Structures are given as C-alpha cells and as structure tokens.
A and B are shown apart, each in its own frame.
Chain A
C-alpha cells in the first residue's frame, strides 16, 4: 500500500513496505550471485585445468546462462535461445506451484516445509490415474483432467495432516511436515514397487523409471508454447500455473476467506477473538498449500516427456524445497511468485549451461539459491530494523494521525504494494540477465 506522507500528503510508492520487500529480495539476489561468482573465480584460480578465459566464461554463464547459444570456434555466443527460454518456463512451472504453496501457508503463519511430500503424493496420483485411464478407452482430455484432479486431491489430503496436528493439538507444523515428507517418500516408493505395470520395462537402460505419460497420450496441450519456443519442453502448464497464481492472489486479497486466513497468520488469538474460526482456517490453509504443491508435481509430469524415478525413499524432490526460496524472494505475494519462480529456473538453466559448456557444474546454481535463502532470513531482520527506525522517527513527530496507528497490521503485504513488487521483480528479472 502506498504510504501517505503526513506532511506533504504525497504518495511515495518507493517507500512502501512492498517496495522494501523488493529491495530486500534484490539485495539477496545480488549477494547470492556475487557469492556464486566468487566461488567460480576462487575454484578457477585453484584448479590448474581452468584457464582465466574459462573463469570468465563461467562468470558470464552464471549471469547470462539462459541467453547462451552454445560455442562457436571456442567462443561463447549469446542471443535469444528459444530452447533455453522454453525450458526455463517449463522448469519454472513446478517451482511456481510449490512457491505458491509455501507462500499461502506463510500468510496463515505456517511454514510449509512439507511441499516435497505433497508434491510426491500428487505425482503418484497423477501418474497412476493418467496411465490407468490412458490404457482404457477413456478420451485423453478426460484422462488428463482426472489425473490432474486426483493428484491435487491426494496432495490436499496430505497437506491436511500437518494442518490438523497444528489446529487441534498445537504441534509445530515444521515437525509434522518433515515426518509426512518421509512417510510420503516411502509410500510412493512402496506403491510403485508393488505395481509392476507402471514401470518402464520397454526401454532398455532405463531401470527404475515410470512409463512417461506421452506413451498413453495424456499430455498437457502446448497452448501456443510450441510456436513461441520451438523444440523446447515448454507447454501450457506454465499458463495454468500463472492462472492459479492469479486466482490465489484474488482469493487471498479480495475475499473474506483470504482475509480470515491472513488474520490467522498475523495473530491467531486475535483472529479467534474477532470471531474467526482459527482451527478451520489453519486446516484449510494447509489443504490449499498441499493442493498447490501437488499441482506442481502434476503439471511437471503431465508434460508427458518427463520421467519419474520411483525409488525415491532415500531422497525428496528438490522442487519441493525450492518452493521455499521462491516464496521468500516473492515476499509471499502470489503474483511475485511467478517471477521468483522464473528467476529460480533461470538459475537452473544457467547451471546446466555451465555443466555443458565449461569445466564447472550445475551445483553452482544451488549454491546461489541456498545463499539467497540464507540471506532472506537476514532480509526480514533488515526490514524490521527499517520499520523500527521509522516508527521511532514518527514518535518524535507528535502529530500522529489515526492512519498511522495501524502500520503494524499493515506491515504485511497489501495488494498495491505487491503489485509493485511484481513490477520490480520483473525489472530484476531483466536486470539479472543482462
């Protein structure tokens, strides 16, 4: 929300809380990229097989990886690369969904670290139903819808467990989410271990994978993505993710239900006192978060040519955890999540380019992402510092209008501020790629 300066009456959007969140995110991103660059330079200097030119190539790819068009005559070339761009959007799809999941839970004051488990449950439901119906005489559009809905329902039910524990037993949702994550990992592995018919036995050398959905033609339509980005994996799933993000923004900011959720997040007891059913809202928030996270898994595997490695009881999908940095970067704003998700997948693509084109590997992108998460914990602290400073300054000016009696409540993101956040994140998108 634009803050109205008491003395001049002017609106200064760049001083609003939303804008501050964007500054904090930008600083985190810059420091993260700097750390990545530093690692590349130091490792390059220490390793004898990497020349100064190799270091320079690595640094350029970290920033411009998505625009890389490969090597010609030993020189890196840059330009518009439809395959990279399309793959970036494709990889952004699950990140946007898990980011939304974490963001919605954050708004209700819950830390949904269970997105990975919900994502796995969604994947299990989608793949099983998609293959079953694909083999039957069911039309493929109906099979797609059924598979998608099954995945979402399973994820929602899985998300409900931590919600119920939190609402009725007051058990920290972080603990229950971690437990349900690993239970989900085992359940999914068990399910696919027992059901031999889903395993991809036809293609040699692909042990441990589930049959991709393109084999039964249950595939997300391209919706124009194949014209925009030929030869890439991009499909209509990205548009669906964007649509869901906008829908979540409307629900969270324009409806009574969303208001109740946010009220529970700001102060559960005050919300209860105001007549809001806090328990119901906490459970519902986790149900929605679970549905969103699982939708990420559904959309990723409904693209058709992605293959699921089913023996996953030892590890959890990275997309589930990467929802956390996405939500943090976007300050939990649903529209901001779209751009934060795209930024994250841009980093992923840059990492892959590093792997293919230089002596470095793709994990540099993960180092940058982890640094950003670490710094975003600081960012909250810096924002708090800024706010207390301003509050003190205001206490000196005694003319405190009733407007300012509630900055505490409004310090969370409101719509307009976040719309700006979206713009600024957009800017940063472009800024990061130049």
Chain B
C-alpha cells in the first residue's frame, strides 16, 4: 500500500504542479496551451543545471540542495519561455491557441537541437549517477542505516520520497492562498472574468495577465523538471509524454479550482501509476496480483483520464466554471 501511494505520488506531483500552473494563466484570461512546451523546456534546463552543478564539484550528499536551486533556476527559465506566449497573446492580441501551439512545437525542436549538439544522441542525462541516488530522501539522508524503517506512516513521508513532493505541497498551498486570499489574486481572477470591469476599477489588465502567464511559466518549468527527475531518471529527451496536455485535462476536470485539481491529479496519477506497474502490483500484500488477474489492458488505464475528462466536460458544460474572458484578447475599446 505504501508502495502504491508513493508510486502514485511520483506521477501525481508533476501533474498537480503543472495543472496549477494552468490555473494561474487561465484565471487571468489567457489559455496556456503551451504547458507541454514549457515542461519540455523546463525538463531540459533542469538537466542542464544539474550537470552544471555536478561539473562545479558538488557531491551526492548535496544532492537535495542543488536540486532545489536547479528547480528555482528552471522556474525562472520557464518564466522567460512563457513570456513569448504572453507577448503574442497580450500585447499583440494574437490567437492564444496558435501561440501556445507554436511554443509546443518550438520547445522540442530547440531542446532536441541542443541535446544533439551537446551529447550527439537523443537523450541528455546527468553527468554522473542517477536521480534516485542523488535526490531521494531516504534513511541514509538522516545518517541512519540503509534498511531503517520508521513504521508504515512515517515511511510514507520520509522513506524513498523525492523532495519535489513537499515542493508540490507548498506550491499547492501558496497558489490557493494567492488566488483566493490576496488582493492581487482577486484582481488576477477578475481579469479572467470581466477585464473591462476590472480595468474600470483601475486594475492593469495587461500587468495581471503577464503575472498570470509568468506564474504559469514558473510552475510549469518546475513541473517539467520534476517530471524528468522523478519519472525519467533526470534525463531530457525532448518530450514529456503528453504530461502537459494531461495537466490541462486535470485542470478542466478540477473545474479551475486548486483543491479539485489536487484531487484530480491524485486520481489521474493513480491511473498512470496503475498502467505502469499493474502487472507487479500487490495492493494489500497477500501475494495476489489482483489487477493483473482482472486482465484489463494497461492502455485502458492510460486512456481513462482523457475519457473521464471528456465525459465530465459533456455533463458539466452547463455549470462549468471556465473563466469567462478566457482566450479573448483584452481590447480597451471594447465593451
């Protein structure tokens, strides 16, 4: 059971971070279809930073520190990349879907171009070692013997957990507070619902939308790095297996509210996890591989998140909480 929850968290954490990134942009009124592209870029930059730090002589014991610094730097790179979308969508009032698609095409092209220039192959990994050895929290992190156990409850939080899980928790709380309990958050949301009214009250719509897209880029960059670190052994291959789009599905499933998104990403993360390990999954530890015996194809689990999202969309289209001004460029002269 502990194993299943931990595995689920591996898949759910990047999903949650990126889905929250999507909320930040969409609540300010900009459709961020570029989540996938920003993730790909973030994953690449994260690996580059890790390699850089490894080259500077940091050792395995400092793994968690360089990971957190790399995460921060990756987030900043994500902001820079997302500004391309912000500029075309906000200043030039271009079609946001096309702008996002452009970034989704640009990111893998640029990333693969540089990976080939650096490594002469299609994957770029860490300079030495593996992600689990460098970044995972485990008993030895606290100076305890390798097979030490705190008991089932504490093990869940401290044994073989990536620090990104805690980063994700902080991000979730911060985004929730920011959107609902701060003045800036309220202003940002108002720009996504009725920018004209917001403007008439003295709120700078352009600034708010830049803030939304920038935050979104920051979080999506971190999410991309988290993805590459936890599920791809800290390698960058110019793709994130559609995680950005899955995060969009999570966001829609969660009806654009952080709490629902957190629950949705756990659910979708569980599906992803089951699809990956269903054949060897022993849920309650009695030696019966239940899911393998039911014999449902893993592709069903992989498909389910998208199918569920479609069904949810079909049934909630009337009560959907989609930001009303989403995707509409703000034009001051319009009423």
Is A377 within 8 A of B95, CB to CB? yes
B105 touches A381 (CB 8 A): no
Question: Complex formed: what's the CA distance from A47 to B119 in Å?
Answer: 13
Report which of A170, A171, A373 forms a contact with B98, defined as CB distance below 8 A.
A373
What's the nearest-Cβ distance from chain A to residue B248, in Å? 7
User: Are B102 and A373 in contact, with the CB atoms below 8 A?
Assistant: yes
CB distance from A190 to the nearest CB of B (A): 4
Contact status of A363 and B109, CB under 8 A, knowing A171-B313, A186-B303, A373-B102: yes
* CB pairs A–B below 8 angstroms (14 shown): A169-B317, A178-B249, A181-B245, A324-B98, A328-B98, A361-B113, A361-B117, A370-B102, A370-B105, A373-B101, A374-B88, A374-B102, A377-B102, A380-B95
Seen from chain B, the residues whose Cβ lies within 8 Å of a Cβ on chain A are 31, 33, 84, 88, 92-95, 97-99, 101-106, 108-110, 112-113, 116-117, 239, 241-242, 245-246, 248-249, 252, 297, 299-300, 302-303, 306-307, 309-310, 313-314, 317
With an 8 A cutoff between CB atoms, is A104 at the interface?
A: no
- Which one of B103, B241, B248, B299 lies within 8 Å of A175 (CB-CB)? B248
CA A373 – CA B104 in complex, angstroms? Answer: 10
* Cβ-neighbour of B299 out of A174, A193, A325 (below 8 A): A193
Interface residues of A in 356-413 (CB under 8 A from B): 360-361, 363-364, 366-367, 369-371, 373-374, 376-378, 380-381
Chain A residues proximal to chain B, CB less than 8 Å? 39, 43, 47, 111, 113, 165, 169-171, 174-176, 178-183, 185-187, 189-190, 193-194, 313-316, 321, 324-325, 328, 360-361, 363-364, 366-367, 369-371, 373-374, 376-378, 380-381
B112 is contacted by which of A169, A316, A363 (Cβ under 8 Å)? A363
Further contacts, 6 of them, CB under 8 A, given A314-B241, A364-B113, A378-B88: A182-B306, A324-B101, A363-B110, A374-B103, A377-B88, A377-B102
Evaluate contact between A377 and B99: CB separation under 8 angstroms: yes
Output the least CB separation between B233 and chain A (Å).
15
Residues from chain A with a CB closer than 8 A to the CB of B93 are 381
Count of A-B residue pairs with CB < 8 Å: 133
B299 close to A370 (CB less than 8 A): no
Residues of A within 8 A of B303 (CB): 182-183, 186-187
CB-nearest residue of chain B to A366: B109
Residue with the greatest number of chain B CB neighbours at <10 A, chosen from A321, A363, A371: A363
Q: Which residues of B contact A193 (CB under 8 A)?
A: 297, 299
Is the beta-carbon distance between B117 and A43 smaller than 8 angstroms? yes
Contact A321-B113, Cβ < 8 Å, known A111-B97, A378-B94: no
Enumerate chain B residues within 8 angstroms of A43, measured Cβ to Cβ.
Answer: 117
Most buried by B among A171, A315, A364, A370: A370
**Among A170, A183, A380, which residue has its beta carbon within 8 angstroms of that of B306?**
A183
Contact A313 B313 (CB under 8 A): no
Q: How far is the CA of A325 from the CA of B105 in the complex (A)?
A: 10
